[in-house]
Amino acid sequence: TAEDGHRGWLRYAPVPQTGSYASFPTSIIALNSTRSSPVYTAGQELQQGINSILGKQLSANSTSEKTFSSIIVGTVDAYAKSYGEIDEAEDLEEDGFYLSTEGRNVVIVGQNERGALYGAFEYLSRLAQGNLDAFSFVDNPHAPIRWVNQWDNMDGSIERGYAGPSIFFRNGLVVDNTTRVAEYAKLLASIRINGIIVNNVNANATLLSAQNLDGLGRLADAMRPYGIQLGISLNFASPQTFGGLSTFDPLDPKVDAWWANVTNQVYAHVPDMAGYLVKANSEGQPGPLTYNRTLADGANMFARAVEPHGGIVMFRAFVYDNHINETNWKNDRANAAVEFFQDLDGKFDENVVVQIKYGPIDFQVREPASPLFSTLRNTSTAIELQITQEYLGQQCHLLYLGPLWKEILEFDMKADDRPSKVKDIISGERFRRPLGGSAGVVNVGTNTTWLGSHLAMSNLYAYGKLAWDPALEPEEVLQDWIRLTFGFDRQVMNTITNMSMQSWPAYENYSGNLGIQTLTDILYAHYGPNPATQDGNGWGQWTRADKFSIGMDRTVSNGTGNAGQYPPAVAQQYENIETTPDNLLLWFHHVNYTHPLKSGKTVIQHFYDAHYEGAKTAQEFVKQWASLKGKVDSERFDHVLFLQTYQAGHALVWRDSINQFYYNLSEIPDAAKRVNNH
């Protein structure tokens, strides 16, 4: 139902009763909790969740009382005061928790209040999945920064949003009613997200008006009970465009003082503000380069302003020139991030984190991991992922992103010939950095499904889970989500698992394969097939396709040199066409259409075949979903069926336009005589 969509994976649907529920605790004790505290929230959530899942009405108290068996939730310190020290306490790290159902009481102890809330959600998730086993474990986060970024504009529109207008802003102002904001915070807390940037990276300085600062205070108040800290994106030129100064030069003391003052005001409204996010000198945005200052000069200006308040600055590495000339064979947008940042390593203040998109270009269906992860050794970094399916079907196509993210997170950069997985770089472990983590672009809207598609919610769920623990298997994460979202039916489980796990390869097959990027319209919509737009543009998302050949030559020997931005072992692999995996062939090499792949097929025949194969899978999704009629409530069933039917049709459009385009260009016939055979 609409209500189910709204609650996402927090439906707390009743589970079949079994004998072991008889000895279930009779009360909840939330230690040391005041109304807006996460521990108080944990107590409330446990009470409602257990009532809904098990039909048991438990009392909730804030002090220890003598009952035979209770669920006790609180911080490790509060627990120690009432019940004595627990051995596991010393294993707890920031935001971590200890959960035990082994004794008479269920014990949920957080290193801090947030950790206690995470433990409560974990316990509820297990109950909701019918898991009543006795267990006991400590769970700590892999990285401290686990944020989401909303790209919401002040007028209520959302950049690359596909689920209606903003839940945060309307008509230039922060909304009055924060009900949806609190509901969103609850979903985020349940997947252990601890921070949110509420406004677009293409930021508008009017967010800093007195009225909007009040509004930000209200947003923070709505999310604080869930342990979600608010942060904001800033427009670099604000001192001039909003503050009335004659300059926004980051080394001008007036500018520095202006930001310090604004920051004090922000913290007066949001005392626990997480920090700032800054997009500078990118896609027309202002930045320090305007004044011949470095990007580090720019980032450090904000770092100085938030430092006394304990805040951090997420500074985006998505800096590139969007007017580059394709006639120069050596030009390459993929080189930009390393070129802009390599000389700045070690020059950022300690509370700056460089936020790096997972690949060198822009959330394409297939990219290698960004080489910048291995370049920055003395700078804290975070990975930027996109839950929003901007280039990937905009929530009208099914695309479960867990496997894509996992591949990047597990990628080994082999820095100094030592194991250097991306996940261990962004956690701060590999290069011994104090900060690090992930930022996920989400763009939920007022639509009751949050993302515009019920099945797309698996991406938000998986994002949080992998940010906390990248060692998890995406398929298992998916299956937890399916159970929580759709219940226990085996067929429902198998069908949604199959569809989701096939969805990335299918989309890659009918959109762009062999590392050629997502052959979508890149000039504006980023939607639907338009391979012609991939060349002759200043954006630098090129394929260099002509009558005979295709692909970006990113070798050092003959191309843009991009392969050489990776540490030697990886650089060698990509430099050599023999050792480059087929799925990145055209990312790193420019080859003839007749070039044979490792499979033995030619590049062009692979194109033709893959597009047929991918589109066929999309047709099967419709049948697979339709087989669930009666097993999923009709509202969600119909909504998904509508989208899958649409995807099936659009996949044919993709297949035929891409194949026709490359047939027209190369004039090489399809061996199976499907393309242009009419």
CB of 283 to ligand GCU, least distance (A): 6
Say if CB 235 and CB 241 are below 8 A apart: yes
Q: Which of 202, 290, 497, 645 binds ligand GCU (CB under 6 A)?
A: 202
The interface mask with ligand GCU, positions 523-542, x = CB under 6 A, is ---x----------------
Label each residue of 233-292 as H, E or C: EECCCHHHHCCCCCCCCCCCHHHHHHHHHHHHHHHHHCCCCCEEEECCCCCCCCCHHHHC
Of the two residues 12 and 162, which places its CB atom closer to ligand GCU in the complex? 162
Rama region for 558: left / alpha / beta (φ>0; ψ in -120 to 50; rest): alpha
Residue 367 binds ligand GCU, judged by CB under 6 A: no
d(CA 436, CA 381): 5
Q: Does 362 bind ligand GCU (CB under 6 A)?
A: yes
Q: Rule CB under 6 A: which of 206-265 touch ligand GCU?
A: none
333 binds ligand GCU (CB under 6 A): no
| 318 scored as a contact of ligand GCU (CB under 6 A) | yes
| Bridge partner list, 382 | 355, 437
- If the CB atoms of residues 159 and 429 are measured against ligand GCU, the closer one turns out to be 159
- Amino acid identity of residue 158, one-letter, is I
Element holding 384 (H helix, E strand): strand 380-386
Query: What kind and span of H or E run contains 2?
Result: helix 2-7
Q: In angstroms, give the least distance from the CB of 362 to ligand GCU.
A: 5
CB contact at 8 A, 237 and 286 = yes
Tell me how far CA of residue 354 lies from CA of 229, 234, 236, 248, 322, in angstroms.
Answer: 19, 15, 16, 21, 20
For ligand GCU, the closer of residues 326 and 521 by Cβ is 521
Closer by beta carbon to ligand GCU, 438 or else 659: 438
Nearest distance, CB of residue 14 and ligand GCU, angstroms: 42
**Measured between alpha carbons, how far is 358 from 462 in angstroms, rounded to an integer?**
16
What is the number of other CB atoms lying within 10 angstroms of the CB of residue 524?
A: 8
Q: DSSP labels for 488-514? A: S-HHHHHHHHHHHHHHHHHHHHHS--T
| Residues 584-623, mask of contacts with ligand GCU (x by CB under 6 A) | ----------------------------------------
- The minimum distance between CB 491 and ligand GCU, in angstroms, equals 38
* Two structure tokens written together for 562: 């991009």
Q: Measured from the CB atom, is 189 or 317 closer to ligand GCU?
A: 317
Report the nearest approach of ligand GCU to the CB of residue 278 (Å).
Answer: 11
Output the smallest distance, CB 501 to ligand GCU, in A: 27
- In the window 390-419, what residues touch ligand GCU (CB under 6 A)? 390
Told to check if 279 binds ligand GCU by CB under 6 A, we report yes
Binders in 5-24 for ligand GCU, by CB under 6 A: none
Sole binder of ligand GCU in the list 155, 159, 256, 469 (CB under 6 A): 159
Distance of closest approach, residue 358 Cβ to ligand GCU, in angstroms: 12
Is residue 157 a contact residue for ligand GCU (CB under 6 A)?
no
**β-strand partners of 29:** 61, 72
Closer to ligand GCU at the Cβ: 393 or 428? 393
Number of residues binding to ligand GCU, judged by CB under 6 A: 9
Site residues for ligand GCU, 492-521, by CB under 6 A, read none
Q: Quote the CA–CA distance of 489 and 63 in Å, as a whole number.
A: 40
β-pairing, 229-234 with 195-197?
parallel
Catalytic residue IDs: 283, 362, 390
Count of Cβ atoms closer than 10 Å to residue 315 Cβ: 27
Distance between CA atoms of 159 and 449, rounded to whole angstroms? 18
Taking residue 214's Cβ as centre, other Cβ atoms within 10 Å add up to 12
Cα gap 579→449, rounded to integer Å: 44
CB 357, min distance to ligand GCU, A: 7
Indicate which single residue of 76, 163, 201, 203 sits in contact with ligand GCU (rule: CB under 6 A). 201
Contacts of residue 380, Cβ cutoff 8 Å, sequence gap at least 6: 348, 350, 352, 353, 354, 428, 433, 434, 435, 436
Can you tell me which of 6, 56, 160, 631 binds ligand GCU, judged by CB under 6 A?
160
Residue 340 or 607: the one with the smaller Cβ distance to ligand GCU is 340
Nearer to ligand GCU, 139 or 390 (CB): 390
Q: Give the footprint of ligand GCU on this chain (CB under 6 A).
A: 159-160, 201-202, 279, 318, 362, 390, 526
